[in-house]
Amino acid sequence: MELSNCTEGIYSLDMVDGGEEGEGFLITPPSKIVLSLTLSMVAVMTTAINSLVITAIIVTRKLHHPANYLICSLAVTDLLVAILVMPFSILYIQRESWVMGEAMCYVWLSVDVTCCTCSILHLAAIALDRYRAITDAVAYSQKRTGLRAGITVAVVWLLSILISLPPLLWRNHGGEPEPDQCLITHHHIAFTLYSTLGAFYIPLLLILSLYYKIYRAAQTLYLRRGASKGSQHSSTINGTSLPSYPLDEDPRNAENPNYPEKSNSDPSIEGDRARITMKSQRSESRREHERSLRRQRISGTRERRAASTLGLILGAFVVCWLPFFLKEVIVNTCGSCSTSMQMADFLTWLGYLNSLINPLIYTIFNKDFKKAFQKMVRCSQRH
């Protein structure tokens, strides 16, 4: 998302062989070659992984679920970033000037800002979908259709265009465009607030709020399920195995006080019954205690897994995009503030990196996606 990228000059070595003009030649430093190769590798990996996610959802019938349609749309958006945005950014960084003309600059900026904004808004839409699925599971399962997912995707793209359009239309507001540069430069606080709030800060607050509620709801759900299973099992034991009378009292006397006393001819049988009952009660008590501990361990494992998943999702999103948007607010609202070329490029590509991380985080913890990936890999190895 190239809202501002202060690049200038090109590394060159002139005045060679006598210093005559025109005999100079360009030299690319090794560090820039390594940087270009590294960024190219990121672009290739982003393309490959997002393509794999899209293909898995298309060819695997078990993944044809409305929730996965949002994942697929996110992968398509991140794929567009990889094939339409990253290569031009690599060339821009390598040459340190824009050499493809004003028209191509406008197209590239439009795709860049719109796709990056759309990727962020997809994360908010996925968080909202998961929140409703866990807090209103029964009612939302009936409303969670392919048509509804398609409408959600359309709304996300429409919002992305509306958020991105004004800064693009007035990208050189308040000054002349810099020669050989492809930037969005304006110092009007209204444009800065409009673009940064809509593209990042409002979605960030929404995502943080929703995932906090998701974690709390999941924690409550695990506790309720554990308590329900425990009470159900306890009632079964009391109803079938454990006696409802004192161990030293005959059940016939408990039910009928006038019932004749038991015969004194079989005291050993009654003693054996009492001992068996006591052993059975102790054994069931131990088993129930072990089951309770096992349920607590499973519940704790699920809570830790849910917390780690949510932590990865939020951590990757915040680490990748927060520095860039903080820089945008500071640079475009503070007249005396600026950033170096290297820092601007680093923060921009840190945001692009989120397009590589998204498909990993949203599919690696899903067993159906894992099976689909393994099946696709096996099929490719056979052919």
Give the domain ranges of the chain: 29-218+312-382
CATH number (3.30.70.2740, 2.60.120.10, 1.20.1070.10, 3.40.50.880) of 29-218+312-382 reads 1.20.1070.10
Please check whether residue 356 is in contact with residue 49, taking contact to mean a CB–CB distance below 8 angstroms: yes
- The single-letter DSSP state of residue 261 is P
Residue written as token pair 């009492």: 274
- What pLDDT is stored for residue 55 in this prediction? 95
State the pairing for strand pair 25-26/12-13. antiparallel
Per-residue pLDDT of 115-148, as tens digits, reads 999 999 999 999 999 899 888 888 888 888 999 9
Lowest mean pLDDT among 19-33, 107-121, 151-165, 233-247: 233-247
∠ CA 180-184-190, nearest 5°, is 155
Question: Which has more confidence, 46 or 2?
Answer: 46
pLDDT of 243 strictly over 50: no
- Mean pLDDT across 215-219: 82
- Tokens representing 373 are 């990936």
Please check whether residue 1 is in contact with residue 112, taking contact to mean a CB–CB distance below 8 angstroms: yes
- What pLDDT is stored for residue 9 in this prediction? 38
